[in-house]
Amino acid sequence: MGVTALVPGLQVQVQGNYNAQNQLVANTVKFNGKNLQTATDIHAGVTPVELQEQAQQQKLEQQQAQLQQENAKLKQEQAEQQAEAAKEAANQAAIAAVNKRFGELGDYNIWDKVDVLFGNGEVNVEQQYKPKLLALCQKAKTVNGYVIQVKGYASSVGSAALNQRLSQERAANVIDFLEQQGGIPLTSMLAPGAMGTSKQVAPDNTAEGQAENRRVTVMVLQNKGIAGN
């Protein structure tokens, strides 16, 4: 019979000699037909079970790998959400700090006010607003102990971080114009306030409303204690 008859579990009698590598080299291998039939039946029944167990194990490992990938993706999404929430909280804290620094307008007289509007995503001061700002500077110089307050805003279109940056750059550019072109010393100007999308003056669901919210508000203030009223 062929060597394939030597299935696992078959009882055999072997005669042979050991070779130079101390391995048994069989000369004869004997077994009876009953034992062969029993071993063959057992082997035929065990093999499908083993294959099924292997398939189930592979499937389980694939499911575990997929679950690990999903957990990793979920953790990444949670980390991104936490980072975005932290940015938003930082923006809100910055706005609160600006409001606290500026204080209540009830303590000041407002001598003049100019709103400078900006295009979508723009931060440079347009030519049409420069004469108004220069006039504001001239009026400020006639006020005893004046300070100039500059607050930048943005529409709610786009991310909170982008709008915060735009409002800051717009306010900073107006400050630069007031100093360089209007002759206002920095000691007479409050630090520019980046207000982001807070205090919207118009609905952001129209182009006109968005345009009104993309603004920098400039005010000439005088402390009521200096004014005497």
Note whether 118 and 71 are same-domain residues.
no
Helix segments in the chain, DSSP class H: 33-102, 130-140, 160-180, 207-213, 224-227
pLDDT of residue 107: 78
| Cβ neighbour number for residue 126 with a 10 Å cutoff | 11
Cα separation, 139 vs 184, whole angstroms:
11
| Residue 126, in any domain of the structure | yes
Q: Is 22 left (phi over 0), alpha (psi -120 to 50) or beta?
A: left
- Of the candidates 136, 143, 144, 149, which has an alpha carbon nearest to the alpha carbon of residue 193? 149
Q: Which domain holds residue 154?
A: 103-227
Note whether 176 and 73 are same-domain residues.
no
CATH number assigned to the domain comprising residue 223:
3.30.1330.60
Note whether 74 and 108 are same-domain residues.
no
Judged against a pLDDT cut of 60, whether residue 103 lies above it is answered with no
| Residue 96, in any domain of the structure | no
**Number of structural domains the chain divides into:** 2
Task: Please report, to the nearest 10 degrees, the dihedral formed by the alpha carbons of residues 77, 82, 83, 89 taken in order.
Answer: 150
Note whether 71 and 107 are same-domain residues.
no
Residue identified by tokens 């923006």 is: 91
Q: Which residues on neighbouring strands pair with residue 117, listed in sequence order?
A: 215
| Cβ neighbour number for residue 10 with a 10 Å cutoff | 18
- Of the candidates 198, 190, 191, 189, which has an alpha carbon nearest to the alpha carbon of residue 164? 198
Q: Looking at 78, 111, 145, which one is the last position of a domain?
A: 78
- The per-residue pLDDT for range 170-208, each reduced to its tens digit, is 999 999 999 999 999 999 998 888 888 877 788 777 888
Note whether 66 and 109 are same-domain residues.
no
Note whether 3 and 74 are same-domain residues.
yes
What angle do the packed helices 160-180 and 33-102 form, to 10 degrees? 30
| Residue 88, in any domain of the structure | no
pLDDT of residue 48: 59
pLDDT of residue 98: 57
Q: Looking at 62, 78, 94, which one is the last position of a domain?
A: 78
Phi, psi (deg, nearest 5) at residue 155? -75, 165
Note whether 52 and 135 are same-domain residues.
no
| Residue 46, in any domain of the structure | yes
Note whether 34 and 118 are same-domain residues.
no
Cα separation, 64 vs 24, whole angstroms:
45
| Residue 93, in any domain of the structure | no
Note whether 56 and 155 are same-domain residues.
no
Note whether 58 and 127 are same-domain residues.
no
| Residue 98, in any domain of the structure | no
Q: Which residues on neighbouring strands pair with residue 63, listed in sequence order?
A: none
Stated pTM of the model: 0.53
Tell me what the pLDDT averaged over the chain comes to. 85
Q: Which band of pLDDT confidence, cut at 50, 70 and 90, is reported for residue 228?
A: low
Note whether 138 and 211 are same-domain residues.
yes
Task: Please report, to the nearest 10 degrees, the dihedral formed by the alpha carbons of residues 200, 202, 203, 206 taken in order.
Answer: -130
| Residue 6, in any domain of the structure | yes
Q: Looking at 78, 113, 129, which one is the last position of a domain?
A: 78
- The per-residue pLDDT for range 133-165, each reduced to its tens digit, is 999 999 999 999 899 999 999 888 888 889 899
Is the Cβ–Cβ distance between 219 and 121 less than 8 Å?
A: no
Chain-centre distance for alpha carbon 63: 29
| Residue 86, in any domain of the structure | no
Note whether 211 and 169 are same-domain residues.
yes
